[in-house]
Copies of this chain bind each other. A is one copy, B any other.
Amino acid sequence: MKNHAPGADGRLQDDLLTLDNQVCFALYALNRAVTGRYRPLLAELDLTYPQYLVMLVMWEADGRGETPRVSEIGERLRLDSGTLTPLLRRLEQRGLITRRRSPEDERVVTVALAEAGAELHDRARKVPERLLCELGMDAAEAGQLRDDLRALLNRLEEST
């Protein structure tokens, strides 16, 4: 019935092949749980979670006087144009950002923070603090977890 002997090897692999033993499921479930905690906070700003991440990038860029390309936002967030193009279109329709083709290189679209987007920054300031409270974590604990996750992310991105 099976290719494996019922004993040693097969059983070990079956234990690995269990939902509760998957790192990835813990990651997947926690990510959705955390996103769910954001949702009501971001709903006050009328933003989805990925839109919020884009706005974080835009607020930072604007603070440095920059107007990043679509591809630069994508590198930052690890998202491609298939995801970003419609998302940015929605943010533009709401007047939070503007998009324009670069005159020097017509292939490039640069994204700039618009007036309403800058105003939204003020209203977003309390989100991180409120979220930590939602998560029941203090800043130190969150920082530690963030660093652990980042370290693994870096390792993954550096390897083939």
Contacts and interface: CB of A to CB of B under 8 A. Distances in A.
Interface in A103-156: 121-122, 124-129, 131, 135-137, 142-143, 145-146, 148-150, 152-153, 155-156
B128 A156 contact: no
B122 A30 contact: no
Q: Secondary structure at chain A's binding surface: helix, strand, loop or mixed?
A: helix
A145 B32 contact: no
Contacts of A137: 23, 152
Contacts of A10: 125
A37 interface: yes
Given A26-B146, A155-B136, A128 B13 contact: yes
Nearest to A78: B29
Interface string A1-29: 01110000010011011110111111111
A54 to B, nearest CB: 10
Given A128-B13, A128-B17, A149 B56 contact: no
A22 B128 contact: yes
Contacts of A91: none
A53 interface: yes
Given A17-B59, A19-B57, A27 B30 contact: yes
